[in-house]
């Protein structure tokens, strides 16, 4: 299968250096700091483009939308967005494309106004895989709960939905207090986890989605002395969760390398700027995106799916130095 999305009204003859701006959910947290490494690396290794990354100071739809509007007003050549809430950016993304700006998204396979959305893997399967490891740790029985950065975060909800579908295979598992919002903030995840532990002292499992969720949850579990009784799994970075993995407060983490996601987004943006085809099975030249699935997305653009997921525990996390 071969699909090509060409940008209408672009100036192929323009000789100026093309600008690609990556706009993330929130600035200053390790996940997106790692992504910025990929954004910078692409700009340094690719001729004819200038790359940069920006993000709001809080993980919320409104400040991200304002930032996207500011970037679009600068008339950049391409934007690569990791939406806090895909629905909230549909209109500005539509206007950006109408004005000739290439729009690429990540973690938003329901985005209609995008020329290409890049997913690191099948999201439902990723959530189910995390949940199954949590279920095994729990002995396939007991109360468990789920966390998301925000309920508007497409991938976070897909992961927790995939987890819930997996848990239903085990009659002894009971989901309580589902979809707790942490705003991608470890302190908020910690406070919410403390509340849940107080309300459900017999809870046995936590599945987190934001990269900071397991940090806050693990801290609450550790303070309660429940490392051997509570199973915490979720998205996280090896470097940030190392101590909690070692203590047993967090049992396992799932992730993809944000650096490679940043590289992949910018690579796709440049392919679109250069009007080059993006085909099913192609190699983007980025680890985890070497044989991508390419199909039609929600709004007629491309949906590009890699195989970049990793799930690690105390015995394996050191293999991933980030």
**What is the DSSP-derived secondary structure letter of residue 45?**
H
| pLDDT tens track for 269-297 | 999 999 999 999 999 999 999 999 999 99
Q: Are 284 and 290 in contact, with CB atoms under 8 Å apart?
A: yes
CA gap 42, 78 in Å, rounded: 14
Q: Are residues 247 and 153 in the same domain?
A: yes
Q: Are residues 44 and 73 in the same domain?
A: yes
Q: Burial of 179 by CB count in 10 Å (0-12 exposed, 13-18 middle, 19+ buried)?
A: middle
Q: What is the mean pLDDT of residues 66-93?
A: 98
In a shared domain, residues 139 and 172: yes
Per-residue pLDDT band at 15 (split at 50, 70, 90)? low
| Secondary element (H or E) of residue 63 | helix 61-73
Q: 54 - beta bridge partners?
A: 23
Q: Percentage of the chain surpassing pLDDT 90?
A: 94
Same domain? 31 vs 104: yes
Could you tell me if residue 315 is inside a domain?
A: no
Domain with 279, as residue range(s), is: 2-121+257-309
- pLDDT above 70: percentage of residues in the chain: 95
Q: Is residue 317 part of a domain?
A: no
Q: Assess whether 231 and 261 both reside in one domain.
A: no
Give mean pLDDT, residues 260-265: 98
Number of domains within the chain: 2
Domain with 203 in it: what CATH number?
3.40.50.2300
- For residues 15 and 116, membership in a common domain is answered with yes
pTM of the model: 0.88
Residue 111 token pair: 């985005």
**Residue 173, strand partner residues:** 142
Alpha helices, DSSP H, located in 21-115:
30-45, 61-73, 90-98
Distance, in Å, from the CA atom of 2 to the CA atom of 320, rounded to the nearest integer, reads 34
Looking at residue 3, its pLDDT comes to: 45
């Amino acid at each position: 299968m071969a699909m090509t999305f060409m940008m209408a009204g672009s100036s192929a003859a323009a000789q100026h250096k093309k600008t690609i701006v990556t706009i993330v959910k929130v600035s200053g947290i390790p996940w997106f700091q790692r992504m910025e490494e990929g954004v910078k690396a692409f700009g340094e290794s690719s001729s004819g483009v200038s790359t940069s990354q920006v993000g709001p100071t809080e993980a919320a739809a409104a400040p991200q939308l304002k930032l996207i509007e500011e970037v679009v007003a600068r008339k950049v050549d391409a934007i690569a967005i990791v939406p806090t809430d895909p629905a909230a950016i549909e209109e500005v993304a539509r206007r950006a494309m109408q004005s000739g700006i290439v729009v690429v998204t990540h973690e938003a396979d329901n985005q209609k106004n995008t020329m290409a959305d890049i997913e690191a893997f099948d999201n439902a399967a990723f959530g189910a895989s995390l949940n199954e490891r949590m279920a095994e740790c729990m002995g396939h029985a007991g109360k468990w709960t789920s966390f998301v950065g925000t309920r508007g975060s497409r991938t976070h909800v897909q992961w927790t939905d995939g987890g819930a579908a997996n848990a239903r295979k085990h009659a002894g598992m009971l989901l309580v207090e589902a979809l707790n919002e942490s705003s991608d903030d470890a302190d908020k995840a910690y406070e919410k986890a403390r509340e849940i532990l107080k309300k459900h002292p017999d809870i046995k499992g936590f599945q987190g989605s934001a990269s900071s969720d397991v940090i806050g949850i693990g801290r609450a579990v550790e303070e309660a002395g429940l490392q051997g009784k509570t199973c915490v799994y979720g998205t996280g970075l090896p470097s940030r969760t190392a101590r909690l993995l070692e203590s047993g407060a967090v049992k396992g983490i799932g992730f993809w390398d944000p650096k490679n996601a940043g590289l992949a987004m910018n690579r796709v943006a440049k392919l679109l700027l250069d009007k080059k085809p993006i085909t099913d099975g192609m190699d983007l030249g980025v680890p985890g995106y070497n044989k991508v699935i390419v199909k039609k997305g929600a709004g007629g653009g491309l949906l590009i799916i890699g195989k970049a997921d990793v799930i690690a525990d105390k015995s394996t996390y050191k293999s991933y130095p980030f």
